[in-house]
Structure 1
Amino acid sequence: MQRLLKPLLCLALLGALHGTRVAAAELQLELPAGTRTWTSAALLAHPLAEDIRIPADVAYQRAMHYRAVPLAALLEGVAAGDHLQAVALDGFAAELAAAPLLARQGARAWLAVEDPAQPWPALAKGKPSAGPFYLVWQHPEAAQIGPEQWPFQVARIRLLEPLAQRFPALLPAADASTEVQAGFAQFQKNCLACHRLNGAGDSQFGPDLNIPHNPTEYLGAGFLAQYIRNPQSLRRWPQGRMPGFSQSVISDSQLEQLIGYLRHMAGRKAEL
């Protein structure tokens, strides 16, 4: 009976926490101007808030309408050369160059805000919505914005040092080829939001990609590329959360660069 009561109690507590999150959501910004907490009510009433349409929403895979604030309006003191991180409730940690977030033409970043009175739909059966805060883009193709740059269920946005300074264990060798260096850039953009490598990174979402084994060490020729393109084509797993990366997100040449970086890092394992 005690083993049965504990799961039921946990479910009740999670339900209560979920209800609290939607009704009294807060977003924490840790920026050069200081730390500020925005409530969903304050953001919905922001003077620059607009009703926007996102024709091809990444999370919902269809057109969506949101009440949203231009993200640039909230990034007080942030410069184009800065580096930001958006941390989600589930541990997803999107690494974001500041320049695209501050842009007012071309690709434009918006912070969509879930209204507790009009909650967004669930992402899937039995799942929560993308709220309370969701970074969405208008015209993402203008700046090659990938799906990892659409973090949802965001709880915190913070200014950080560049990745090379925070996590030297991610760096390829100083004499690595330009292709490997380009692959490192692809890894930062497309992988680091979910995965660590050599124990380095902030995400708590997916497995480490070098410790104890690098995927280039156990996936045969061609299979790693196939897995990245369509994970379910290699391992049928209904609970799998890794999305496929189409050619519109990462080209064949960029995919080869990414795999080249991973192969290179297999020879640079960290001692943990």
Structure 2
Amino acid sequence: MKSLLFSLIVLSCTAQAAEFEVQLNDTRHTWSSSELLNHPQAREIEIADDVSYKRPMKYRAVPISALLDGVTPGDHLQAVALDGFAAELPAAILLASEGAKAWLAIEDPQHPWPPLASGKPSAGPFYLVWTDPAASQIGPEQWPFQVARIRQLAPVEQRFPALLPAADASSEVQAGFALYQKNCMACHRLNGAGDSAFGPDLNIPHNPTEYFTGDFLRQYIRDPQSLRRWPQGRMPGFSEQAIRAHELEQLIGYLQHMAQRKVTR
């Protein structure tokens, strides 16, 4: 009880002092929660099917594009959360005026959001949410909560060549690589390459295609707790809406391909 009370006090203090940072090449801009709550473009929005809370939610939010002055659709961005979760995001989807629209939801310290689960903190102080996400096939890993900053980086292919398929890899494997970036890279490294240390490496020492037989890997991706049930399990399941059947085969094809391209250390 004392531990929970201490955690709530710390989280309350953090929310009151929260700052959100945008790093663009050699410039950086920081906004406090108060500044964002009172931003000229801030408004109340409704999210019909919130990925993290798994129910409808209402937020005070700012269009993320309003905080990305100077960013162009061809740029590459990364949203980094307090726990090390690092979502790779093409700037084009964050700047889009049609289809899915990205918003930075801001937790008001005077009216905190509910906890994500019993004994857990909320999704705040800042949370990247989407209206009409299905219109642009926004995946669950593109909803980073407790996000602390967005930074501009070189594309994944340039930063982490150890992730690249062979030059003669099929178009299906190349498509699987794109799906890996969208759905897996926020939590996992592969061949030691990546910015997140949230989950285990997916190729070293062993690739999941080497120890999941039959359809168990597909089942694990769809519903991890159906194979490995433990309270601390944090990997979400990926529904057919998030990763379609043919996309799941492409993703597994990429992993199988990379099992033959391990980086030795």
The alignment's TM-score, normalised by the length of structure 2, stands at 0.96
Q: Which residue of 2 aligns with 1:116?
A: 109
Structure 2 letter corresponding to 1:46: H
Q: Which residue of 1 aligns with 2:192?
A: 199
1:254 paired with 2:247, answer: yes
CA distance in 1, matches of 2:79, 2:228: 29
Structure 2 letter corresponding to 1:93: A
SS in 2 for 1:187: helix
Q: Which residue of 1 aligns with 2:121?
A: 128
Structure 1 letter corresponding to 2:213: G
SS in 1 for 2:93: helix
CA distance in 2, matches of 1:11, 1:143: 39
Change (3 A) 1:176 1:206: same
CA distance in 1, matches of 2:32, 2:155: 28
CA distance in 2, matches of 1:68, 1:202: 27
Superposed CA deviations along residues 130-157 of structure 1, whole A, max 9, x for unmatched, are 0000000000011000000000000110
Q: Is the 8 A contact 2:25 2:153 kept in 1?
A: no
CA offset at residue 28 of structure 1?
A: 1.1
Q: Which residue of 1 aligns with 2:84?
A: 91
Q: Is the 8 A contact 2:65 2:94 kept in 1?
A: yes
CA distance in 1, matches of 2:213, 2:122: 37
Structure 1 letter corresponding to 2:58: H
CA offset at residue 32 of structure 1?
A: 4.3
SS in 2 for 1:123: coil
Q: Which residue of 1 aligns with 2:223?
A: 230
SS in 2 for 1:216: helix
Q: Which residue of 1 aligns with 2:166?
A: 173
Superposed CA deviations along residues 175-231 of structure 1, whole A, max 9, x for unmatched, are 111111010011000000010000000012110000000000001021100100111
SS in 2 for 1:112: strand
Residue 201 of structure 2 is aligned with which of 208, 229, 241?
Answer: 208
CA distance in 2, matches of 1:131, 1:213: 35
Superposed CA deviations along residues 89-114 of structure 1, whole A, max 9, x for unmatched, are 11100000100100122110000000
1:71 paired with 2:68, answer: no
Q: Is the 8 A contact 1:169 1:200 kept in 2?
A: yes
CA distance in 1, matches of 2:236, 2:209: 19
Unpaired runs of at least 5, structure 2: none
Q: Work out the percentage of aligned pairs sharing the same amino acid.
A: 68
Structure 2 letter corresponding to 1:76: D
Unpaired runs of at least 5, structure 1: 1-7
Structure 1 letter corresponding to 2:191: N
CA offset at residue 31 of structure 1?
A: 1.3
1:156 paired with 2:141, answer: no
Change (3 A) 1:16 1:121: closer
CA distance in 2, matches of 1:208, 1:221: 21
Q: Is the 8 A contact 1:227 1:234 kept in 2?
A: yes
Aligned length: 265
CA offset at residue 239 of structure 1?
A: 1.6
Q: Is the 8 A contact 1:86 1:157 kept in 2?
A: yes
SS in 1 for 2:74: coil
SS in 2 for 1:164: helix
CA distance in 1, matches of 2:244, 2:2: 47
Q: Is the 8 A contact 1:31 1:76 kept in 2?
A: no
